Amino acid sequence: MTDERGPGGFAERLGARVSDADDGSARMRFEVRDEHLNPAGTLHGGVVATLVDTAMGQAVRTTTEDGQVPATSQLTVTYLRPGRPGQLTVTAQVRTRGEHLTVCEADVEQDGEAVAHAVATFALLQR
């Protein structure tokens, strides 16, 4: 599905937009602005963590059944280089889908360079 929809809630208020999500994957675009920077003038790590968590959650949602809700139970972010103002792309992919747990990975890129890599485990809760 490609619909430039927002992920809702906190991530949407940051300006995050999912550009497509289907078949265990998701892609987000994000414009880093001055308000997203830390005191050192680079992209705040908490913003990066929010983006990868949101993208991976969207990827997992494409694999869930009715009544299942993915909840992040573990998130590891490896920061590879500082992000700066400008366009970011976050790409997420489900790696392992189990009955109760799903593992997903995400990559953050800016200007063709890796900014961060993340791995998360999602518990699949019943509504």
Domain that holds residue 40: 9-126
- Section 78-101 average pLDDT: 96
- Structure confidence by residue, pLDDT tens digits, 5-57: 445 677 888 888 888 899 999 999 999 999 999 999 999 999 999 999 999 99
> For the chain, what is the domain count?
1
Task: Kindly give, in sequence order, each residue whose CB lies less than 8 Å from that of residue 127, ignoring residues fewer than 6 positions away.
Answer: 67, 68, 69
Within a domain: residue 4?
Answer: no
Residue 57 sits in a domain whose CATH number is 3.10.129.10
Q: Give the span between the Cα atoms of 19 and 55, in whole angstroms.
A: 10
